[in-house]
Structure 1
Amino acid sequence: MVIDKRSAALVVVLLVCAAALAASAVGDGPLLNGNFEYPPNQSQMNGTTVTGENAIPYWKTSGIIEYIGSGQQQGDMILTVPEGAHAVRLGNEASVTQQVSVTRGVYYSITFSASRTCAQKETLNLKAAPVSGYPAQTGELPVQTVYTSCGWDAFSWAFKAEAGIVSFTIHNPGQEEDPACGPIIDAIAIKTLNQPEPTQNNMLMNGDFEEGPYIPPDSKSGVMVPPMDEDDVSPLPGWKVMSYKKVVKYVDSAHFAVPRGARAVELVSGVETALVQEVYTTVEGSWYRLEFSVGDAGIGCGASSADSSSSPGGGMKVKAATGANETIVDVDFGGGSKRGRLEFQANTSPTMVVFVSLGYHTKSDNSGTLCGPVVDDVSLVAIPQPSARRLLR
């Protein structure tokens, strides 16, 4: 059969279109079958174990994967499913992968729910790999700490799209004695991350925290933002989480008391975690004013540890620091929010803005749910030096 140039070009176009259709073309929200409610092909199942790599619609699997039903029992333990009726459990060296259609050069965040089962020191590896031509972006998320009483937490991770189609993978690197032991994964979603620019009225990027990872509309627990290495893309544009294994929580005004706007950050890990932004436009020797709001999340945060840094009479403390300069703001339980201010002379450039909770707190309902003060509406502006301000008066 003879194929002319026009026909050959049409074949190439059709092949490219077919490849694009093989990837999930989704907007902000759940990935295709991201909640795993479409069941595996029963011919590729052995009990609850998935035996075929393409058995779960829209997903490719490897290793020991179990298809879990809500309330399923394992020994004396009842397995929890974060959303809906089904989820998957990743055994040792197991993974789930989906190809996603994205826009090259754009930043994205992934939100997913994870529940620890029989392993104690679980971590998850995440990867966004362009189909060809670019190295994969990878990250590691600690999931051994359970922050909520329901037994699972929502986590976030971010990447920059280096190609129009990427393969997103969640992998369990665990090496447990029971090869099927591992975390339960559910409710996987994606969101485009805008990158707000600093303005003349605020030298900070995303100081109001309105830009951040996808929060499911019916989620009452917020989304965890994990610690990040220097080169990682942050799910919270402009901000980094400095910690060894702990997180901060990204919350919304639908379920938490937010000082201003629709989003804020709850410091749930005490002194083990810092929320940080480096500002590269400050000038050494110049004067600046940092202002911010801190408050009670309005979720019944009421119990403090015996840490001596907790506020007298029961309350919370937030430390804001810029290099050697710092200020501490007290927040009463159930006391709304307060405005904090710190005026300082930049000792170095860039200037690092840091927020830390000085106590450990849990909800007063005895559920064990970790909680803490909320930080919001942060601004940094240049001001005249003190002598010049006196002359201006």
Structure 2
Amino acid sequence: MNGTRVMNPNSIPHWEISGFVEYIGSGQQQDDMILPVPEGARAVRLGNDATIRQLLSVTRKKTYSITFSAARTCAQAEKLNVSVGPESGVLPIQTVYTSSGWDSYSYAFRARHSTAWLTIHNPGVEEDPACGPLIDLIAIKTLSPPRRERESGYGLSRVLAGNMLRNGDFEEGPFIFPDTAWGALVPPLDEDDVSPLPGWTVMSDTKVVKYVDAAHHTVQRGERAVELVAGREAALLQEVPTAPGWWYRLSFSVGDAGDGCAEPLAVEAYAARAAARVQHESRGTGGSRRASLEFAAAENATRVVFQSSNHHMKPDGTLCGPVLDDVALVSVRRRAARRLLL
């Protein structure tokens, strides 16, 4: 090492490095900035054009999610390129969602071979080569994407006996580090990318949704839910096969995470030509309400879309929003006036 800079490509066990990589101790100071580490005593910092990578053993055709924690330091427009094999994605980290400065990000891929290189790269080039994000806590998890229930009938009479949505309860998703209280951020994806939240896609330019656990947040049902922390700048959606002219009921729970987000929270839901706005009067201590929306399908596939109607902040200045959980879509097999049932 030269000061904090790691000079040898193989000096960090199990990792290969290139570019300006530093080995940082918790509490280390840079100018007026103190660099914290969320777990343990050490982390790495990726400076100018820096990369860390590790060779993973995986199973072909299986789907995996990667979760890692990152924090900004002194660069202006920090972002990270994450890749596994030929797949890659850009994770914007300009927005900070926690008061500690650390967020956990998720990324997913489908294995093409029995081994794959996991690479995290900082493409930035700053006047100070040490300016770049800190990285700590990296985990890989096998995803088991839930399937829709078996269809019955043929042609236009084809219906699904249960929930037509995949992963409507959000129980399958990226790994959440048990000793962190900030969940895992699910980034926006291109249409063809693999989602770390199976069945669901986040549509946005740079914003995310937050995947939260019952150990640190109020979850309406089960152990996992989604907090819509980006207002109207991010939408959570899933496309579902439907029969044109048939009627369907979309039901869902809207609440707060019990994390001090004490503002009126509202979720906007869209399906086909129907729309609804569901408000939850939050005191920041948990609680939820159930709502449903009926609509007639206009196409062979219908997009179900959710977003928060506004931006919200907790008293510490960090972003928050309504929690969405227990989403179900069923065929009601009848014509009815479009309405919101509360």
Same fold (TM over 0.5): yes
8 Å CA contact 1:243–1:273 kept in 2: the answer is: yes
Q: Which residue of 1 aligns with 2:235?
A: 274
Aligned to 1:344: 295
- The reply to whether residue 362 of structure 1 matches residue 313 of structure 2 is yes
3-state DSSP of counterpart to 2:130: coil
Q: What pairs up with 1:1-393 in 2 under 5 angstroms? A: 45-129=1-85, 136-199=86-149, 200-279=161-240, 281-302=241-262, 314-334=263-283, 336-363=287-314, 366-386=315-335
Q: 1:203 to 1:387 in 2, by over 3 A?
A: closer
Q: Counterpart amino acid of 1:166?
A: A
SS in structure 2 of the partner of residue 190 of structure 1: strand
1:294-324 residue CA offsets vs partner (Å, 9 max, x unmatched): 101111102xxxxxxxxxxx41110111132
Structure 1 contact 63–91 (Cα < 8 Å) conserved: yes
Q: CA deviation at 1:62?
A: 0.4
Calculate the TM-score normalised by the size of structure 2: 0.93
The separation in 2 between residues aligned to 1:67 and 1:356, in whole angstroms, is: 39
1:179-229 Cα deviation digits (max 9, x unpaired): 221000010001001010012311100000000000011121110000001
CA contact (8 A) 1:80 1:115 kept: no
Distance 1:149 1:48 in 2: 26
Kept in 2: contact 1:228–1:234 (CA 8 A): yes
Q: Which digits, 9 at most, give the CA deviation of each residue in 1:147-176, with x for residues without a partner? A: 110011000000001111111000000121
Structure 1: runs of 5+ lacking an equivalent:
1-44, 130-135, 303-313, 389-393
Segments of 4+ moved more than 3 angstroms: none
* Conserved? CA contact 2:272–2:295, under 8 Å: no
Distance 1:121 1:223 in 2: 21
Alignment check: 8 A CA contact 2:183 2:211 kept: yes
Does the aligned pair in 2 maintain the 1:61–1:94 contact within 8 Å? Answer: yes
Q: CA deviation at 1:386?
A: 2.4
**What is the deviation of 1:92?**
1.3
**Shift of residue 120 of structure 1?**
2.0
Aligned CA-pair RMSD: 1.2
SS of match in other structure, 1:96: strand
- Between the aligned residues of both structures, percent identity stands at 61
One-letter amino acid of the structure 2 residue matched with residue 276 of structure 1:
L
Kept in 2, the 8 Å contact 1:65–1:90? The answer is: yes
Output the CA distance in 1 between the equivalents of 2:191 and 2:121.
22
Q: Pick the structure with greater CA Rg.
A: 1
Tell me, in whole angstroms, the C-alpha distance in 1 between the residues paired with 2:336 and 2:259.
Answer: 45
Q: How far is 1:349 from its partner?
A: 2.6
Aligned position for 1:132: none
For 1:322 and 1:120, locate their aligned partners in 2 and report how far apart those are by CA, in whole Å.
Answer: 39
CA offset at residue 350 of structure 1? 1.1
Distance 2:126 2:238 in 1: 37
State the distance in 2 between where 1:384 and 1:128 align: 44
Q: Return the letter of the residue paired with 1:105.
A: K
Q: Distance in 2 between matches of 1:333 and 1:369?
A: 16
Distance 1:74 1:147 in 2: 22
Query: 368-377 or 331-340, which moves further after superposition?
Result: 331-340
| Code of the aligned partner of 1:64 | F
Equivalent residue letter for 2:258: G
Secondary structure of 2:232's aligned partner: helix
- Cα shift readout 1:343-374 (whole Å, capped 9, x = no counterpart): 000112310000010111111xx311211100
Deviation at 1:387, TM superposition (A): 6.6
TM-score by length of 1: 0.81
The structure that is helix-richer by fraction is 1
Work out whether residues 80 and 120 of structure 2, in 8 Å CA contact, stay in contact via their aligned partners in 1: yes
Q: What letter matches 1:236 in structure 2?
A: L
Q: State the secondary structure of the residue aligned to 2:141.
A: strand
Q: Secondary structure at the match of 1:92?
A: coil
Residue 243 of structure 1, CA deviation: 0.5
